[in-house]
Amino acid sequence: MISLSEVRLGFGTQVLVERAGWHLHPGAHYGLVGANGTGKSTLLRVLAGDLEPEQGSVSRPNQLRIGMLRQEQTRHAKLPLLDVVMMGRPALWAALQEKEALLARVAGHGPGATPSDAEGARLGALEAVIADQEGYAAEAVAGTLLAGLGIDVARHRRPLAELSGGYRLRVLLAQTLFSAPELLLLDEPTNHLDIVSIRWLEQHLRAYPHTFVLVSHDRHFLNAVCDQIVDIDYQELTVYPGNYDAFCAAKALAREQKEAEIARLEKKTAEMQRFVDRFRAKATKARQAQSRQKQIDRMEAPEIRRSSRRHPAFRFTTARPSGREVLRVQGLGKGFGGTPVIEGLSFELMRGEKMAVVGPNGVGKSTLLNMLAGRLEPDSGGFELGYEVQPGFFAQDHHLLLKGRGTVYDWLHAVKPMAEVGTIRGILGRVLFSGDDAAKRIAALSGGESARLVLASLMLREDNLLLLDEPTNHLDLEGREALMQALIDYPGTLVFVSHDRHFVSAVARRVLVLSPEGGEDFAGTYEDYLARQGIDFLTESAAAGMARGSGGPAVGGGKADHVRRKRQRRDLARLRRRVADLEARVAGLEVELERMGERFAQAAYFQETPPEQIRTDERQRRCTERQLEATVADWEAAAQELEAAEAG
């Protein structure tokens, strides 16, 4: 497998990685993480052989089969999707093409013509290649990959040119997976995938028998498919065993240990310095004082370098609270080209609720948010905003808002011209546009910078209803975590679409599941929805069922009042069960923490327990403390929901 030794990567005068070493092991599943701009995509190109490092060496076996997702969307635009996928195995594709041409030439000799001896020998050789490459099952395998990535079977024999850019990338991803290389390189493979296709890809990669290295900003995805995390930080490359959560814990522990070592050395140095200052003038102690001074001079504290990771400080507030009822949707319908996308959708949203809209592509998630934001007119039904409701919208195509030749500061100032300079500068600094970055031209912004700027505009506006369509797109892991926490703390009302399972599970306290049959409105978290329904619609089998139109019951207009009351009673019972479950979970975690505290308090614990076990116990205690904090927050939110439901 590939080995890197003393590798240096840079961009202009900026050093990305210095003296990096990495030996890739057969069958390992690596997640490559780091802040935006630290060289993750560059490193993938080095592994693929597309780019040579500035310094150092890369050793790779001559016969190693490497597959990397290429974004050449127009190269094979006229070919059917199945053919494009099967081109992922060049030897097989060449043999199939030559065999087809050879048989056509033989048929051109006339009815009943048979191959010549040379043609027969060549056909035999081609058959051997096709059999060796498992060519007789190739079309079925290619079709399975396309279907798993959300491309309908009816399109498999249609030209690639008929698909949009996002779906063309799915075909190229299927081509890369079809090649089944010994080293698979994937740069943000979940981009342009819906939540159903992401779950399918998780299953496929978990079972992948060879080595892969992937870049992703989806924490749940990294946890699901990776057994090692490669971190680019401090201009260094560090490999951590385990998934992303294990990496976070290990990195935090290493920093804590280094900080503790520095504190210990600083304390020791201070004590020795006091001795020197006190006794250097005394003849009887001068020699000892001089000796200690030399020890102080030789002592070196470990260096804590500044991380390349930068955390935005998103914070969303409301200028004024809305009325109790924020949104009422009645019989909402919308279609395109005569094909209905949303039909008869009805639901109500109360102040402070946070609803995730989930489901496969094509069921109208973005369409719904665009209608609620006033960007699309419904074909039937409608919706009504409540008293003093002020909506703010983050669109998937938010980059279209960022046009012109102005600066970042100019654009944000135009959002709220009466805002003070200090206010605008402060918000820009919170989203990582500090100092001269505020003078950066809009046209030069990256995808992540554009997303942070639009989110900054929502911070400035102080709306009390946020409509967010895929807000985590283009944000790195640090940005996603910061946005997640800011939305959890947001005092207003929230409706959002996201394919990030971790993000949805943490933020939403209500879930609207859209399917070809309609929508199912569930009061609770996404994890509660899975537990109560007994089926995860994100799995492959459930996705197939939804594609056939077997989704949950529609939430539509025209239902009798007694049906609505029955549903409300059912939701009320669910909320009561949830509050009781969370109360029991809080009590259990508190008991667990108390037991841990008693173990740490034992006099002989630190003398008799191995250091590795101590570190494991410390990590477990911190993990339990975080679980308790999150569970208490969930309990408080559920109790408020229950109180509101009982009052209503």
Give tens-digit pLDDT for 34-73: 877 778 888 999 998 888 888 889 998 888 999 998 765 5
Confidence of residue 537 (pLDDT cuts 50, 70, 90): very low
Mean pLDDT for all residues in the chain: 82
What integer is the mean pLDDT of 23-31?
94
> How far, rounded to the nearest angstrom, does the alpha carbon of residue 483 sit from its chain's CA centroid?
12
Decide: helix, strand or coil at residue 248.
Answer: helix
The whole-number pLDDT of residue 540 equals 40
d(CA 539, CA 543): 6
**Selecting from 1.10.3720.10, 3.40.50.720, 3.40.50.300, 3.40.50.150, what CATH number does the domain 325-530 have?**
3.40.50.300
The CATH T-level fold of domain 579-647 is Helix Hairpins (1.10.287)
d(CA 47, CA 68): 10
The sign of the CA dihedral 247, 248, 249, 251 is positive
The whole-number pLDDT of residue 553 equals 35
Provide the β-strand partners of residue 441.
407
The whole-number pLDDT of residue 547 equals 40
Q: Phi then psi for 580, rounded to 5 degrees?
A: -65, -45
The whole-number pLDDT of residue 549 equals 38
By the 8 A CB rule, do 390 and 464 touch? Answer: yes
Closest CA to 172 of 85, 268, 43: 85
CA distances from 286 to 268, 272, 282, 354 (A): 19, 13, 6, 70
**Helix-strand-coil split of the chain, %, nearest 5:** 50, 20, 30
The whole-number pLDDT of residue 538 equals 44
d(CA 120, CA 102): 10
**pLDDT, tens digit, 9 for 90 and up, residues 424-444:** 999 999 998 988 888 888 888
The whole-number pLDDT of residue 78 equals 86
**pLDDT, tens digit, 9 for 90 and up, residues 346-402:** 999 999 999 999 887 778 898 999 999 999 999 999 999 999 999 999 998 877 778
Q: Phi then psi for 96, rounded to 5 degrees?
A: -65, -40
The whole-number pLDDT of residue 259 equals 66
The whole-number pLDDT of residue 647 equals 66
Quote the longest CA-to-CA distance of the chain.
Answer: 118
| pLDDT above 50 (res 483) | yes
d(CA 229, CA 214): 10
- The more confident residue out of 98 and 308 is 98
Tell the residue number behind the tokens 């056909």, with chain if given.
123
R_g over Cα of the chain: 30
Q: Phi then psi for 644, rounded to 5 degrees?
A: -65, -40
Burial environment of residue 210 by CB neighbours within 10 A (0 to 12, 13 to 18, 19 or more): middle
Strand ranges of the sheet holding 339-350, from the earlier edge strand across to the other edge? 339-350, 325-336, 380-385
The whole-number pLDDT of residue 257 equals 72
CB count in 10 Å sphere of residue 449 = 20
Task: Outline which parts of the chain fall under CATH 3.40.50.300.
Answer: 43-246, 325-530
Provide the β-strand partners of residue 513.
358, 520
- The more confident residue out of 138 and 304 is 138
Tokens of residue 215, six digits: 């870049």
Confidence of residue 323 (pLDDT cuts 50, 70, 90): very high
pLDDT exceeding 90 applies to what percent of the chain? 32
d(CA 442, CA 407): 5
Tokens of residue 466, six digits: 């946020």
The whole-number pLDDT of residue 166 equals 76
Decide: helix, strand or coil at residue 600.
Answer: helix
According to CATH, the superfamily of the domain at 43-246 is P-loop containing nucleotide triphosphate hydrolases (3.40.50.300)
d(CA 17, CA 234): 8
**pTM over cut 0.85:** no
Neighbour-count burial for 373-410, b at 16+ CB within 10 Å, e otherwise: beeeebebbebebbeebebbbbbbebbebbeeeebbbe
The whole-number pLDDT of residue 628 equals 74
| pLDDT above 90 (res 298) | no
Decide: helix, strand or coil at residue 393.
Answer: strand
CA distances from 447 to 394, 398, 453, 472 (A): 14, 10, 10, 11
| pLDDT above 90 (res 611) | no
